[in-house]
Amino acid sequence: MTADLKRLWSILRKNMQSADKQFEILKSGCTEIIEEKEFKDKLSLGRPLRIKFGADPSAPDIHLGHIVVLDKLRRFGELGHQIIFIIGDFTARIGDPSGRSKTRPVLSKESIEENSKTYQKQIFRILDKKYTQVVYNSEWLENMNLMKVFELSSMYTVARMLERRDFKTRFQNNLDISGVEFLYPLLQGYDSAHLKADVEIGGNDQKFNLLMGRTIQQKYGQPPQTVVTLPLLVGIDGEKKMSKSYGNYIGLDEKPEEIYGKVMSISDSLMYEWTKILSFIDSDAIAGLPPRNAKAVLARDITEYICSKEEAGAARDYFEKVVVKKGVPEDVKDFFTEENEMCLAELVFASGGAPSKTRAKQLIEQGAVSLSGEAVKNFKQTVKIKDGMLLKAGKRFFVKIRKGK
């Protein structure tokens, strides 16, 4: 037994629960467990189980939707099991086709590497390093030879792939499905075989890919992993699942006031849905409150869970002063420019008020931009730069324009 397994086994013995008790703890909040009897048998093995979860670094942020899974992983870890967190730096180059109506644009290796840098810092806000191993799937997929790819491809048929709902819909609508997208579930399944996973966790939209892991493991003569699926958190738009690709997410690395403010912006119906899915929220305490008060409690608890109690309190105060009472925050940053005049959209973008000029134009046209308290709606407007003028973009971005370097 390796030193790491001895350490995990000591945790397991310290936190020892019967297999039935562990099963009840871990089943809570799950959408489905495949197969339940299999899972109970694994929990009775008397050793730490290898729990697999993977995330592709398609954007810099891990988001609130991931917390549904991360919190479940934390529970596994606290019971003494080994968490294997895969950063899918190789599979991100293909792009997960789950739930997609079109082929995802291919990310550059440089973008993936840059996005990967923030992942470990963010996941360890929730998970503990003592039971978590972080791996990159490029370690075993990067040098896979063509014969191995042929071997893997032979383990599943195109007909079975087309039974998958998103592929089937695209095929029926004569929309593109690239050959490489068929490889994605196979590679994710191979990850399970390579790591000898006992359990794999994911959102319920990942069921096809997770089951592929069982298939590939059996092809290699391994016991099939148990599949644990969890409900998806709908994004702040109230329509699609929370996703980096859709831009409707709350990132774990965002500022506390941004996290708090985004939660306060969601609809009442979405608020109650989130309270049922996020396991660290006391839904009973929220149920009897007026919607505005209930949302404030939800915003506080989410911000506190991701950041800290102190930061959550400061974020609440910031929201009340800046958003509710339409005040100006005390710590407004400066933006220096040597220009005497600038196009309004360019000024909003350059000062950090929008991630792109297109988004800056949208904010201006929506009436969400003001200069020294005066609303401006013409994105083509030329602004004469005056030292100390206050730029506001959206509800929570403020900057003072300063002349100079």
Query: Which architecture characterizes domain 3-230 according to CATH?
Result: 3-Layer(aba) Sandwich (3.40)
What confidence category does residue 244 fall into, taking pLDDT thresholds of 50, 70 and 90?
Answer: confident
Residues in a beta bridge with 359? none
Quick one: pLDDT at residue 95? Answer: 61
Chain mean pLDDT for the chain = 85
Residue 21 makes CB contacts below 8 A (sequence gap 6+) with none
Instruction: Give the range among 200-214, 241-255, 264-278 with minimum mean pLDDT.
Output: 241-255
Using DSSP's 3-state secondary structure scheme, residue 142 falls into coil
Average pLDDT over residues 193-211: 93
pLDDT category of residue 152 using cuts at 50, 70 and 90? confident
333-403 shares the fold of 3-230: no
Q: Which of the residue ranges 132-136, 177-181, 367-371 would you say has the lowest mean pLDDT?
A: 177-181
Place of tokens 């609508």: 173
| Tokens representing residue 195 in the block | 């790591």
Q: Look up residue 196 and give its two tokens.
A: 């000898």
pLDDT of residue 13: 55
More confident residue, 333 or 326: 333
What per-residue confidence (pLDDT) applies to 295?
A: 94
The region of weakest confidence among 52-56, 62-66, 372-376, 388-392 is 372-376
Average pLDDT score over residue span 156-181: 72
Give the homologous superfamily in CATH for domain 333-403.
RNA-binding S4 domain (3.10.290.10)
| Rounded average pLDDT over 237-246 | 86
pLDDT tens figures, 282-330: 888 888 889 899 999 999 999 999 999 999 999 999 898 888 877 777 7
- Distance from C-alpha of 107 to C-alpha of 177, rounded to nearest angstrom: 17
For 207-210, the CB contacts below 8 A with 24+ separation are 207/32, 208/98, 208/164, 209/96, 209/98, 209/184, 209/185
Q: Among all chains, which residue has been given the structure tokens 């401006």?
A: 376
Is residue 87 over pLDDT 70?
Answer: yes
Closest CA to 197 of 209, 180, 179, 205: 209
Give 400's strand partners: 334, 390
Using one digit for the tens of pLDDT, what is the confidence trace for 363-377? 888 888 888 778 888
pLDDT at 250 over 70: yes
* φ and ψ at residue 196, rounded to 5 degrees: 55, 50
Is the pLDDT score of 100 beyond 70? no
Pairing label, strands 333-337, 397-403: parallel
Q: Which residues of 206-353 form beta strands (DSSP E)?
A: 226-230, 333-337, 341-343
Locate the domains of the chain by residue range. Answer: 3-230, 256-324, 333-403
Average pLDDT for residues 132-151, to the nearest whole number? 91
Q: Is the pTM of this model over 0.85?
A: no
Which pLDDT value is given to residue 101? 43
Work out the percent of the chain whose per-residue pLDDT is above 70: 90
Distances (CA, A) of 236 to 172, 251, 259, 272, 368: 31, 12, 11, 13, 18
pLDDT tops 70 at residue 106: no
The secondary structure element, H or E, covering residue 52 is strand 50-55
Residue 104 has pLDDT above 60, yes or no: no
